[in-house]
Structure 1
Amino acid sequence: MIQIKHLALRRGLKELLKDVSLTLNPGYKAGLVGANGVGKSSLFALLRGELHADAGSADIPPNWVVAHVAQETPALTQSALDFVLDGDRELRTLEARLAAAEAAGDGMAQGHLHDDMAHIDAYSAPARAARLLGGLGFDTAQHQRPVSSFSGGWRMRLNLAQALMCRSDLLLLDEPTNHLDLETVLWLEEWLKSYPGTLLVISHDRDFLDAICSHIVEMAQQGMTLYTGNYSQFEIMRSERLVRQQADFDKQQREISHLENFIRRFKAKASKARQAQSRVKALEKLERIAPAHVHSPFDFHFAAPDNLPNPLLRLDGISAGYDDRAVLAGVDLSVEAGSRIGLLGVNGAGKSTLVKVLAGELAPLAGQCITSPAIRIGYFAQHQLEHLRLDESPLWHLQKKAPQAREQELRTFLGGFNFRGDTVNDPVGPMSGGEKARLALALIVWDRPNLLLLDEPTNHLDLEMRHALTMALQDFPGALLVVSHDRSLLETTTDTFWLVADGSVRPFDGDLEDYRQWRLAQLADEARPSSDDAAGVNRKEQKRIEAEQRQRLARERKPLQQRLSKLERELETLGAEKAELDAFLASPDAYGDDQRERLASGIKRQGEVSARLSQVEEEWLGVQEALEALDGGQ
């Protein structure tokens, strides 16, 4: 297990964590959430041994293998497949020892090493690596390409594949979906669901956290709080906790006020001096409850455009691509006033290409993009962050757009994007990716566009900013076209979908769940072997596949069975306590004058036990259903 005891952690002068204690049991899949800058990535660095605690400790078992995604990939000449295989450290160690034994002519050592490699199923490792690459969007031809030939985003996918290849006990993932498209995010969710180790993931994608997490760890106010359940359940429990905290705070404030009034009234009276002094001591010892406080630092909206021409633009026989190679061909579509469109399609299908044509950044190879004279486009894409002046400030960027505006007006506007006080004058260069993305969005909002083109706008944005952007987009009166792997954003801000596939763009009749099912059916068709291929599958391969399925099933069943046993023990304990309470409350003795305190506490405890019993029974049923689903899918 991971045991955090009285941990304090600083970065520079900033105290990130203070006296934090927390336990994460083996098999937990925990999402780490909190605003940017609270210390999530620093905690990961601490667990990897790259940082040291200022006080306390964060301990993991010494025999655990920890895997994480490297942030940089050197321009290696080795193939993508070999790079991913490097993630299996045990395999590479045995291969090196076998090569040494072969060079030394040590036949006995070779025999033992071959047994060891068979034990870890080393001979299927290339197939496992190939499946990881396929799931992360690499086609078969790319498996043998050198790592150096891939762009930055694809190298990040290679780093992710290498981390998943590792036989790890603890997997640390920091924003793993940032460089992935929707299809790859769905594949990663399924892979992580069956991961047998302990998972800690930092993510600002609520649907991703909902799909994979058994627990949520909230980092806020220099502390960490563990919640059971996924992100949606966490939000409910947090809101309930905050209501209780606010009630406790209000009660304590009344108590403090009463004590202070007593001290103020009687500290000068000799007859009451001793009582007043005792109240002073009580006030000093009182452990203060903080007021409940969940307040988004973001507050902005899109102002109504000056006009809304209809249609805003029309594509007439458009072909588009690069270096005279068409990615899209024969596209005939129009964007009407008030349209709210989400683009669907696999990575590389041409979604960003289409957006660049609509934004006027890419000239079509054929056809016309006909726009209204009154069109005003707000275009956001990750590469546009590179156009920000790194030596200048957010205020300078906005002043360049609005030289006539008063500085206070600009400061107030930037405050809605959490650039407050002196931060409006800070240079852009040292800012995080999320801060730069917020500034780019602020510059777009100021322009009052009537057509928004957003290509992965939520990359690097935390959950609070994503929520603020979603709310602003819901109220935006203009037209909207979005490319995003954030399903929550797509579902809540768009009305229709366009499918970009097979070189064309066409309306998609359905929602995101329909699209997911369509993609699964498409992938199943692609994976189905022809009759000739099927005849060539020998019995040994079939046995290996069946063995892998049995092992996967056993891995998936184990944490469920452990959870079921724990819940059954708790049900037994709670049931016994409830029976005892029921018996007491049903007896005449409970209502005697000398039993008032016990009666009140018994009634309160009966309610608590009943509520917990209902919660545990519901979770027990859920685990049973999950086990039955596993057994039924054999």
Structure 2
Amino acid sequence: LIARALLLEPDLLLMDEPGNHMDVLAMSQLQQFLQRGCSSAFMIISHDQYLLNNVCTKTVFLRNQQCSKFELAYNQARIQLQQQDLQAKARLLSEEKEISRLKTTAKRLAIMGRENDNVKLARKAKSIQKRADKLDANKTACVEASGLKLNLNNLALRARQMLLIENYQVMTPDSSSRLLCIEQLIIKPGDRVAFLGINGVGKSSTLESILRAYQQPSEPAKIRFHPRTQLGYYDQELHLLDNNCSRIDWLRKMTKATEEQLKSVLIKAGIHYQEFDRCVSQLSGGEKARMMFLAFSLNQPNLLILDEPTNHIDLQGKQQLTEQLMSCGATLLITSHDRFFLQQIVTRWLWIDNGTLREVNSDDAFYQALLDATPVPKQPPESTLMQPDAVDIALGIRQVPAEHSEEEILGRIDILEKKLQMDKRQKHKRQKPGLQQQWQTEIEQLWQSIT
């Protein structure tokens, strides 16, 4: 989709969550393109903090139907926004004190006016009450925190190991071929483990294999759990919420909580009572993610398998999730293309490379390997007669062979003339004089070849 948009050579490129379903290799290539190869201005909506920090020079926060604009990358802009929020809270506190003082004064004057039958005092009380109401209606607005909450309390299991995998082969979903072989993997209680690898190497399949072994244990078991393991699973497509249950019915099905606990956790998450019966299949991605974490809060698992947990969570919710995962003590197995999220949480790194699983000290080697494998864009060669340009290649336009017909040459001329006209209609600073000259030269050569 991004390539299709770029073929039009736009002045402005709009991107809505471009990295949601990209693996780390594609994200790395996208980042490099936006940093070095994109000549268009662009606006991007993304929950990937690492991407925003590396490609954006301006940040706009949309909150409470208002825009807050900063000439800064995301992290620096967020610090300034937090400072503004602190100032707003201080102003709000001062305004609420003044409103309380005015209301108290108005009430006292109104009582005195009634008791003494004093019209002047009663009129004064009404005037002060109006001032208090006006100040209350226009008081400083403060942004509420995200409704995403994950409360996992004291879940560290006191044991030597939580999970043991020995001589296990991870297969493709149709079991036709092997993705990787795990000779031995020991996961200890409290480990926060990230699985690294490009798309298709078996990250999600490995997590699904662990889930199946927990749900359907077999003998001899190559994947073994501690007897007190309580597992929670978050899949990136949120398939567990693709049904016609209401919010509260879904939680009844997924947990063993009482009715009071179900209602309490929904209300604390900011869900109004009228929304309890809303069908979960109609919820947005962010609302579905919130429901998954509410179920975790009720079930209190001590082993969490998280497959791309940040795909549907906004930046504020992601920060809250990070803090809660770091403090809860649960053992975590995570796959994510969000490098910033992983770097904050993870204590162990497992890299799936060429069908093997190996532990590395950090994610640096993995991302450096991605950069080394990413081809550096080359400058196009000098134009020759009928030589394809990058746009022609991307569009799949058939090039005229050495013995080309007159009809094919005229078709090529028509394409080049349209591209030339489109480029000349752009603003002067957006035009490409080099390409214009190249297209004009080729047009002249083509006309000479048929005259």
* Length-normalised TM-score, structure 1: 0.52
Q: Deviations over 1:5-50 (max 9, x none)?
A: xxxxxxxxxxxxxxxxxxxxxxxxxxxxxxxxxxxxxxxxxxxxxx
Tell me, in whole angstroms, the C-alpha distance in 1 between the residues paired with 2:276 and 2:122: 53
Tell me, in whole angstroms, the C-alpha distance in 1 between the residues paired with 2:340 and 2:269: 21
Deviation at 1:212, TM superposition (A): 2.0
Q: Does the 8 A contact of 2:303 with 2:331 survive in 1?
A: yes
CA shift in 2, pair 1:192/1:259, >3 Å? same
After TM superposition, the structure 1 = structure 2 runs for residues 467-616 of structure 1, keeping only pairs within 5 Å, are 467-510=319-362, 512-523=363-374, 540=382
Q: Does the 8 A contact of 2:351 with 2:358 survive in 1?
A: yes
- Aligned residue-pair number: 376
**Given the alignment of the two structures, is residue 386 of structure 1 paired with residue 239 of structure 2, yes or no?**
yes
Match of 2:164 in 1: 314
Among 102, 116, 139, which residue is 1:289 paired with?
A: 139
Tell me, in whole angstroms, the C-alpha distance in 1 between the residues paired with 2:9 and 2:351: 37
Q: Deviations over 1:177-217 (max 9, x none)?
A: 11012232222122223433332222222222222222222
Tell me, in whole angstroms, the C-alpha distance in 2 between the residues paired with 1:200 and 1:468: 26
After TM superposition, the structure 1 = structure 2 runs for residues 75-114 of structure 1, keeping only pairs within 5 Å, are none
* Length-normalised TM-score, structure 2: 0.71
Deviation at 1:406, TM superposition (A): 2.6
Q: Does the 8 A contact of 2:156 with 2:189 survive in 1?
A: no
Tell me, in whole angstroms, the C-alpha distance in 2 between the residues paired with 1:169 and 1:528: 21
SS in 2 for 1:471: helix
Tell me, in whole angstroms, the C-alpha distance in 1 between the residues paired with 2:102 and 2:268: 40
**Given the alignment of the two structures, is residue 218 of structure 1 paired with residue 61 of structure 2, yes or no?**
yes
CA shift in 2, pair 1:421/1:468, >3 Å? farther
CA shift in 2, pair 1:167/1:392, >3 Å? same
Match of 1:353 in 2: 205
After TM superposition, the structure 1 = structure 2 runs for residues 421-432 of structure 1, keeping only pairs within 5 Å, are 421-432=273-284
In structure 1, list runs of 5 or more residues that go unmatched.
1-158, 530-536, 545-557, 560-634
CA shift in 2, pair 1:389/1:203, >3 Å? closer
Deviation at 1:253, TM superposition (A): 4.4
Tell me, in whole angstroms, the C-alpha distance in 1 between the residues paired with 2:312 and 2:193: 22
Q: Does the 8 A contact of 2:85 with 2:142 survive in 1?
A: yes
Match of 2:80 in 1: 237
Tell me, in whole angstroms, the C-alpha distance in 2 between the residues paired with 1:289 and 1:215: 29
> 388-397 vs 452-461, which deviates more?
388-397
After TM superposition, the structure 1 = structure 2 runs for residues 269-348 of structure 1, keeping only pairs within 5 Å, are 288-305=138-155, 307-322=157-172, 323-329=175-181, 331-348=183-200
Identity of matched residues, %: 27
**Given the alignment of the two structures, is residue 191 of structure 1 paired with residue 41 of structure 2, yes or no?**
no
Tell me, in whole angstroms, the C-alpha distance in 2 between the residues paired with 1:253 and 1:190: 49
Q: Deviations over 1:297-347 (max 9, x none)?
A: 333321344955432222222222223211113543222222211111111
Q: Deviations over 1:464-500 (max 9, x none)?
A: 3222221221123232111001223211211110101
Q: Deviations over 1:486-523 (max 9, x none)?
A: 2232112111101011111100132x344322322344
Deviation at 1:296, TM superposition (A): 3.3
Match of 1:398 in 2: 251
SS in 2 for 1:382: coil
> 341-350 vs 415-424, which deviates more?
415-424
CA shift in 2, pair 1:539/1:466, >3 Å? closer
Among 211, 228, 247, which residue is 2:90 paired with?
A: 247
Tell me, in whole angstroms, the C-alpha distance in 2 between the residues paired with 1:308 and 1:469: 24
In structure 2, list runs of 5 or more residues that go unmatched.
388-428, 431-451
CA shift in 2, pair 1:264/1:453, >3 Å? closer
Q: Deviations over 1:356-405 (max 9, x none)?
A: 222227999x993233343332221124x2233622122112222445x4
SS in 2 for 1:172: strand
Deviation at 1:541, TM superposition (A): 7.8
AA paired with 2:224? I
After TM superposition, the structure 1 = structure 2 runs for residues 11-90 of structure 1, keeping only pairs within 5 Å, are none
Match of 2:420 in 1: none
CA shift in 2, pair 1:376/1:274, >3 Å? closer
AA paired with 2:14? L
CA shift in 2, pair 1:272/1:295, >3 Å? same
SS in 1 for 2:344: helix
SS in 2 for 1:422: helix
**Given the alignment of the two structures, is residue 374 of structure 1 paired with residue 252 of structure 2, yes or no?**
no
SS in 1 for 2:222: strand
Match of 1:177 in 2: 19
Q: Does the 8 A contact of 1:175 with 1:203 survive in 2?
A: yes
Among 28, 52, 56, which residue is 1:209 paired with?
A: 52
Tell me, in whole angstroms, the C-alpha distance in 2 between the residues paired with 1:399 and 1:478: 23
Tell me, in whole angstroms, the C-alpha distance in 1 between the residues paired with 2:278 and 2:267: 14
Q: Does the 8 A contact of 1:309 with 1:374 survive in 2?
A: no
Q: Does the 8 A contact of 1:308 with 1:478 survive in 2?
A: no
AA paired with 1:165? L
Tell me, in whole angstroms, the C-alpha distance in 2 between the residues paired with 1:274 and 1:415: 43
Deviation at 1:246, TM superposition (A): 3.0
AA paired with 1:397? W
Q: Does the 8 A contact of 1:300 with 1:416 survive in 2?
A: no
Q: Does the 8 A contact of 1:304 with 1:448 survive in 2?
A: no
Q: Does the 8 A contact of 1:456 with 1:482 survive in 2?
A: yes
Tell me, in whole angstroms, the C-alpha distance in 1 between the residues paired with 2:179 and 2:227: 28
Tell me, in whole angstroms, the C-alpha distance in 1 between the residues paired with 2:305 and 2:50: 23
**Given the alignment of the two structures, is residue 452 of structure 1 paired with residue 304 of structure 2, yes or no?**
yes
AA paired with 1:186? S
AA paired with 1:181? D
Query: C-alpha root-mean-square deviation of aligned residues, in Å?
Result: 3.8
Q: Does the 8 A contact of 1:318 with 1:367 survive in 2?
A: no
Match of 1:163 in 2: 5
Tell me, in whole angstroms, the C-alpha distance in 1 between the residues paired with 2:302 and 2:98: 55
SS in 2 for 1:499: strand
Deviation at 1:229, TM superposition (A): 1.0
> 263-272 vs 409-418, which deviates more?
263-272
Q: Does the 8 A contact of 2:243 with 2:281 survive in 1?
A: yes
AA paired with 2:69? L
Q: Does the 8 A contact of 2:307 with 2:336 survive in 1?
A: yes
Q: Does the 8 A contact of 1:300 with 1:417 survive in 2?
A: no
Tell me, in whole angstroms, the C-alpha distance in 2 between the residues paired with 1:520 and 1:363: 40
After TM superposition, the structure 1 = structure 2 runs for residues 412-451 of structure 1, keeping only pairs within 5 Å, are 412-451=264-303
Q: Does the 8 A contact of 1:217 with 1:226 survive in 2?
A: yes
Match of 1:110 in 2: none
Tell me, in whole angstroms, the C-alpha distance in 2 between the residues paired with 1:391 and 1:201: 34
| Structure with more contact order per residue of length (Cα contacts < 8 Å, sep ≥ 6) | 2
